[in-house]
């Protein structure tokens, strides 16, 4: 197969949908000779921030001279972004070879897209002899394909309501699914949590006899924007200038620093310079990313209530005034919950559909906005929506693109094409 045929095969696996459970991935990894057992692993779950924590942790390990794999999802532009070693995406020929190798052992096993790609990532990391792999959970934790591994450290970033149709109807149920990555005697780093989620996570850690490194008990930050200090009983790092924007990202970077501190305490030689590099040089496109031009565009992958609240706080902190918001939301997310924190900051809503099915009807977004007194209109495509927002902007106004990471990726493509044709 060539690269496009490999992609077609992978996306064809989506016909099996989302199927939570470990039997398929365990069978696959057995047939592949257990590649996951040849590397040390950091396993990251949570609702929001797990990608940011994963990429920062991987950069800290890489900066310490450790060959480091990183597995994240979804991607912005190319599938190859999901599987990286030392910051570089997997080359297309390697990806094609991996599809062939994993496909050869699948047989009649009805594997899902995510199960297959998880096996690919672990096999690639094994073949490339990585020292560490940082794995981001796809959804939930307990029954996620990444949970077939035995990590050095488990990590749980902030938990909020998301994927209720798969993870449960309330915060305790969702936290219980995330807590499923906690393993007996394996340290767990817990990020900022709502009280109900924190109770569930700590109870699971106690049941598992897993040592806990807890936000605001075992580690914390002192903010003095644009910098912050990291405080842990075993490590203090001062005057960190984060490479990611927003107060919530400073918290995410503190979680990554706590992971590094736990690894240091277990004998891994991670110099403070490597930790500082991971905080200050980290980049994560599409997360509070500014696209500067005649009119500035702010891209953010906020796609649930927690992400929308964090984005709203960022807009408040900047004192930007109201923005022109290009919005598109993947179904079955609750559009009322996502729009409510941001509509007070919105001058006009440009409703469209993200390039993923199913999606929330743009008409629904328009109705919600108008009920809140915000002018709104439907646009057939994200390119049309962005072009309209840019055309409407007066001097000093900003266009916001948020609601779906898939939407952000498509708009980034549009903006890059605009730059190339100038």
Do 274 and 336 lie in a common domain?
no
| Cis preceding linkage at 358, omega within 30 | yes
Do 228 and 310 lie in a common domain?
no
What Rg value do the Cα atoms of the chain yield, rounded? 21
What number of CA atoms fall less than 13 Å from residue 239's CA on the CB side?
1
- Domain boundary (222, 246, 280) is at 280
The predicted structure's pLDDT at residue 141 = 85
Do 222 and 167 lie in a common domain?
yes
CA-to-CA distance for 399 and 395, rounded, in angstroms?
12
Do 39 and 93 lie in a common domain?
yes
- The answer to whether the beta carbons of residues 42 and 134 sit under 8 Å apart is yes
Do 389 and 257 lie in a common domain?
no
Do 258 and 397 lie in a common domain?
no
Provide the CATH number for the domain around residue 347: 3.90.190.20
Total domains present in the chain: 2
Do 177 and 83 lie in a common domain?
yes
Do 46 and 120 lie in a common domain?
yes
Burial-class residue 19 by CB neighbours within 10 Å (0-12, 13-18, 19+): middle
Task: Single out the residue of 400, 406, 404, 421 nearest to residue 296, CA to CA.
Answer: 400
Do 81 and 213 lie in a common domain?
yes
CA-to-CA distance for 344 and 352, rounded, in angstroms?
19
Do 15 and 62 lie in a common domain?
yes
- Domain boundary (263, 280, 297) is at 280
One pLDDT digit (tens) per residue for the chain, 422 residues: 899 999 999 999 977 666 678 999 999 999 999 999 999 999 999 999 999 999 999 999 999 999 999 999 999 999 999 999 999 999 999 999 999 999 999 999 999 999 999 999 999 999 999 999 999 999 878 999 999 999 999 999 999 866 555 565 689 999 999 999 999 999 999 999 999 999 999 999 999 999 999 999 999 999 998 999 999 999 999 999 999 999 999 999 999 999 999 999 999 999 999 999 999 999 999 999 999 988 999 999 999 988 999 999 999 999 888 999 999 999 888 999 999 999 999 999 999 999 988 999 999 999 999 999 999 999 999 999 999 999 999 999 999 999 999 999 999 999 998 877 76
Phi-psi region of 420 (alpha: psi -120 to 50; beta: other; left: phi over 0): alpha
Pairing of strands 40-45, 132-136: parallel
Do 255 and 298 lie in a common domain?
no
- Domain boundary (227, 249, 280) is at 280
What range defines the domain where residue 402 resides?
289-420
Do 237 and 303 lie in a common domain?
no
Phi, psi of 280 (to 5 degrees): -85, -25
Provide the CATH number for the domain around residue 208: 3.40.1190.10
The predicted structure's pLDDT at residue 357 = 84
The predicted structure's pLDDT at residue 163 = 55
The predicted structure's pLDDT at residue 421 = 72
Task: Please report, for residues 135, 213, 281, 407, the alpha-carbon distance to residue 262 in angstroms, rounded to integers and kept in the order given.
Answer: 17, 8, 21, 36
Phi, psi of 112 (to 5 degrees): -85, 170
């Amino acid at each position: 197969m060539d690269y496009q045929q490999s992609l077609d095969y992978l996306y064809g696996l989506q016909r099996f949908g989302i199927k939570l459970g470990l039997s398929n991935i365990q069978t696959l990894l057995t047939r592949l000779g257990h590649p996951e057992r040849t590397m040390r692993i950091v396993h990251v779950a949570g609702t929001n921030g797990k990608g940011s924590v994963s990429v920062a942790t991987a950069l800290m390990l890489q900066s310490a001279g450790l060959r480091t794999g990183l597995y994240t999802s979804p991607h912005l532009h190319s599938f190859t972004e999901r599987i990286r070693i030392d910051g570089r995406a997997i080359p297309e020929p390697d990806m094609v070879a991996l599809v062939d190798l994993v496909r050869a052992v699948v047989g009649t096993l009805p594997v899902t897209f995510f199960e297959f790609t998880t096996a690919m990532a672990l096999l690639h990391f094994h073949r490339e002899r990585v020292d560490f792999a940082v794995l981001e959970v796809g959804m939930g934790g307990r029954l996620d394909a990444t949970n077939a591994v035995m990590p050095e450290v488990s990590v749980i970033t902030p938990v909020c309501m998301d994927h209720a149709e798969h993870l449960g109807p309330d915060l305790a149920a969702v936290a219980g699914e995330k807590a499923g990555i906690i393993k007996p005697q394996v340290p767990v780093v817990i990020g900022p949590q709502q009280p109900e989620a924190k109770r569930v996570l700590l109870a699971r850690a106690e049941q598992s006899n897993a040592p806990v490194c807890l936000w605001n008990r075992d580690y914390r930050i002192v903010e003095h924007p644009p910098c912050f200090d990291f405080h842990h009983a075993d490590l203090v790092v001062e005057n960190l200038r984060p490479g990611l924007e927003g107060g919530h990202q400073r918290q995410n970077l503190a979680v990554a620093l706590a992971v590094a501190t736990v690894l240091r305490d277990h004998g891994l030689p991670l110099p403070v310079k490597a930790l500082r590099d991971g905080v200050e040089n980290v980049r994560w496109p599409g997360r509070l990313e500014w696209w500067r031009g005649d009119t500035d565009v702010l891209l953010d992958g906020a796609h649930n209530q927690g992400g929308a609240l964090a984005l709203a706080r960022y807009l408040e902190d900047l004192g930007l005034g109201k923005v022109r918001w290009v919005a598109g939301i993947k179904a079955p997310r609750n559009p009322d919950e996502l729009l409510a924190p941001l509509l007070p900051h919105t001058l006009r809503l440009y409703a469209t559909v993200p390039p993923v099915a199913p999606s929330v009807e743009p008409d629904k977004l328009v109705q919600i906005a108008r009920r809140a007194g915000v002018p709104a209109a439907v646009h057939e495509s994200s390119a049309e929506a962005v072009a309209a927002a840019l055309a409407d902007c007066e001097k000093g106004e900003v266009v916001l693109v948020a609601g779906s990471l898939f939407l952000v990726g498509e708009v980034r493509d549009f903006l890059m094409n605009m730059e190339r044709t100038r």
